[in-house]
A and B are shown apart, each in its own frame.
Chain A
Amino acid sequence: MSVTGVPVDLEPPSGQEPTEVPRGPGRLGDRLFGGSATLAGTIVIALVTLVGVFLLAQAIPAIAKDQVNFLWSREWNVDSEPLRFGVRDLLWATVVTSIIAMLLAVPVGVAVALFITEYAPRWLARPAAQLVDLLAAVPSIVYGLWGVATFTPFVGPLQNWLGSTLGWIPLFAPKYQSSLFVVGIVLAIMILPIVTALSREVFSQTPRTHKEAALALGATKWEMIRTAVLPYGQPGVISAAMLALGRALGETIAVTMILSALAPGSPWSWSLFNGGATFASLIANNAAEFDSPEKTGAYIAAGLVLFVLTFVVNAIARIVIERRKAFTE
């Protein structure tokens, strides 16, 4: 990507550099910088590995004692000896809220980014971009408070209407007000700035030649965006979406505050208006009472699933981006 945007006039004057600057590991600054960069990289890798090892080490003894299928069971009973816990409900709630968030945030985020880079007049583009970025700076507890006090009652009528008109579809069966649906929308607002900021940056780097070529061939503005900007920005948008998804999957406080937990033994429901708990919210809710190693282990096992889920999502994003790159450059 870095090659495409550089105009010709920035090329260094030829014939000067190769003879005068001694290259290689000889210079101190070079070694210092190289060394510290390597160190930083190594530390990050070591950190992630250690987190994974920690989660595994703590989770395995608890999973070994689990009396039900860890991935498939809906029970969560870790207080008394025959431990019975499974993550199906958690996985469902986590994935559903994140999907709702993505369905809303990605199209809107891309549209906002296009507006800022292509449509908005210059005096508006910069403040608009900064305002969207500001959304990312709002702490999630504020989203939580706002979600509970203001947004949930606000969405209530919409939910009720959906529930009463489309209630025959299992997905829209009426249940609670503080539902997965509401959480999904709040998460969408929380991840919107990530999608917008990253998409904006890639869109603004579309080579001018591509755009001019499209316009020269008689394309309208929308056709130019469709044929030049969007294909060029696609890998960037995908990577933005995946980063946003990572945030949505792991969001803790806002979800904990808004989402209604289900009473134990509640029947399975496909409804978006059901309550539940995500991995992160379940752990956060019970962190105060981790009083035996097995119990702690059970929650850490749930954390492990979230860790793996995030990992898989990021890996998929990498693969997709690598593939797309081949077409754009």
Chain B
Amino acid sequence: MYLLWKAPEVKIQRMSALTLVALAGTLALGACGSDNNTGTTGSNGSGSTGTAGGAASSADCPSGTVSAEGSSAQKAAIEEAISAYQDKCADATINYNATGSGAGIKQFIAKQADFAGSDSALKTAAGSDGKIEQAEADKACASPAWNLPMVTGPIAIAFNVKGVDKLILNADVAADIFNAKITTWNDPAIAKLNPGVTLPSEPIKVFFRSDESGTTENFTKYLKAAAPTKWTADPAKKWSGKGEGKEKSAGVSSAVKSTEGGVTYTEWSYAKDNQLGIAQIDSGAGAVELTGESAGKAVAAAKVTGTGNNLSLKLDYATKEAGAYPIVLVTYEIVCSKAADATKGKVIKGFLESFSGTDFQKSLTDMGYAPLPDEVQSKVATAVAALQ
């Protein structure tokens, strides 16, 4: 009796209000439990990183707004390129939406995006829906659609092994590791490649990308090409090896960072940012460290499979060239060779000229990308100049 305070009449109303809110919450949850909006950040280049081109004549500066969509692997590079271009040409606006390569191509074919970014060139074989991407894109453009390689992103095999800073792997051993055939760090196969390195006996913990990604596709392309007997699964955006899945590059990188014995494949920039060990790759001509230059060599060795100015590349992942780091991902800008809208066409052309220019390409290394090698860069420049 002494502790019975306060009549609760006021609370009745509060109670029902609360129930309503909670109810609305559940309904919303049930209705759309998946609205994970991946990166809709329109990059309008607000960060003004001043480039030397500030004084360029505004005569070559077109004005207009262009929207592009696609690969998230090139997000950082293209945002920087947009920012640099808009410093020079303030009237041109380019919005890049990093929704993923597949979405970019889809939007490009549906004429919703003015150009697309993609981890892979338009496919020339019929896909699962019986449609040929290249043909569909040509139709949407009413002119040939061109694949222009623009950014090369090396993929690092990043590891966290106590007391080991330098690790050399080759394709066969990497395939075995990512297939869980090799399960401890002091396995004889690894030790053989790393004489003089004390490897601990701890288990190898493999992390893979749980989301579908171009990084996974390119990494498995490498394994399949360079170690065909060890890696038999077909390359795909979805991981086909073993291990523990984490979300996106950030997820796998931080998982390796926090897990002793962890190993993953990830974009170079993530491995660098997380200060993870990066394996050197021995393709038969000695161990190659991952640098902008060594990755560029692998791109330079690629064959151009497109015709004319359509520059789809076929990377030779199994390359034995000395000093070439073979695990690279090339992202393309997919454009109409003749833009339907002349104003937009000018903006796209101007932007791509700046993006593919040697000055800008050189600055890519700081962001964890590799510049286009000279041979490829000059071809891209020719193609960009031929855009209408």
Judge whether B14 and A246 touch: CB under 8 Å.
no
B128 within 8 A of A: yes
Nearest CB on B from A44, distance (A): 7
- Cα–Cα distance between A122 and B25 once the two chains are bound (Å): 30
Enumerate chain B residues within 8 angstroms of A170, measured Cβ to Cβ.
none
Residues of A within 8 A of B38 (CB): 287-288
**Given known A-B contacts A204-B11, A256-B247, A288-B38, A294 and B210 have beta carbons under 8 A apart:** no
Whether A79 contacts B244 by the Cβ 8 Å rule is no
User: From residue 186 to 217 of chain A, which have CB atoms closer than 8 A to chain B?
Assistant: 194, 197-198, 201-202, 204-206, 208, 211-212, 215-216
B57 at the interface (CB under 8 A from A): no
| B-side contacts of A148, CB under 8 Å | 251, 254
Chain B interface size, under 10 / 10 to 19 / 20 to 34 / 35 or more: 35 or more
- The segment from B235-243, B331-339, B375-383 that touches chain A is B235-243
Name the CB-closest residue of B to A55: B31
Pick from A197, A289, A311 the residue with the most CB of B within 10 Å.
A289
B205 shortest CB reach to chain A, Å: 9
Q: Do the beta carbons of B4 and A291 come within 8 Å of each other?
A: no
A153, A194, A252: the one contacting B36 at CB < 8 Å is A252
Does the CB pair B100–A47 fall under 8 Å?
no
CB of A286 within 8 Å of the partner chain: yes
State how many residues of chain A have any CB contact under 8 Å with chain B.
74
Closest A residue to B33 by beta carbon equals A250
Q: Nearest Cβ distance between residue B179 and chain A, in whole angstroms?
A: 10
B12 touches A48 (CB 8 A): no
A80 to chain B, nearest CB (A): 6
Determine the chain B residues whose CB is within 8 A of the CB of A290 once the complex forms: 102-103
Q: Is the CB of A264 within 8 A of B100?
A: no
Query: Are B9 and A5 in touch, CB under 8 angstroms?
Result: yes
In the assembled complex, B56 has its CB within 8 A of some CB on chain A? no
With the chains together, A183 CA to B338 CA distance in Å?
A: 52
Query: A28: CB under 8 A from chain B?
Result: no
Q: Which of A29-37, A105-113, A275-283 is the interface stretch?
A: A275-283
Given A263-B239, A310-B29, verify A198-B22 contact (CB < 8 Å): yes
Q: Is the CB of A122 within 8 A of B26?
A: no
The answer to whether A38 has its CB under 8 Å from any CB of chain B is no
Which of A7, A178, A311 is close to B244, meaning CB atoms less than 8 Å apart? Answer: A178
Would you call A289 and B211 a contact (CB within 8 A)? yes
- Per-position contact with A for B202-218: 1 when CB-CB < 8 Å, else 0? 00000010111100000
Q: Mark A253-294, 1 if CB is under 8 A from B, else 0.
A: 100110011111010000000010101100111111111111
A208 touches B7 (CB 8 A): yes
Nearest A-chain residue to B30, judged by Cβ: A310
A243 close to B (CB within 8 Å): yes
A257 to B103, CA, bound (A): 22
The reply to whether B15 and A201 form a contact with Cβ atoms under 8 Å apart is yes
Cβ–Cβ contact B36 & A284, under 8 A = yes
A-side contacts of B9, CB under 8 Å: 5-7, 10
Can you spell out 23 A-B residue pairs with CB atoms less than 8 angstroms apart? A1-B12, A5-B7, A5-B8, A10-B9, A79-B237, A153-B258, A178-B246, A204-B8, A204-B11, A205-B11, A216-B1, A243-B25, A243-B26, A249-B33, A260-B244, A261-B210, A261-B246, A280-B34, A283-B36, A288-B72, A288-B212, A291-B106, A294-B128
11 further interface pairs, Cβ-Cβ under 8 Å (given A5-B7, A47-B31, A291-B105): A51-B31, A148-B254, A178-B255, A197-B18, A201-B15, A204-B11, A212-B4, A246-B26, A247-B25, A260-B244, A288-B38
The 3 residue pairs across chains A and B that have the minimum distance between CB atoms: A261-B245, A291-B102, A261-B210
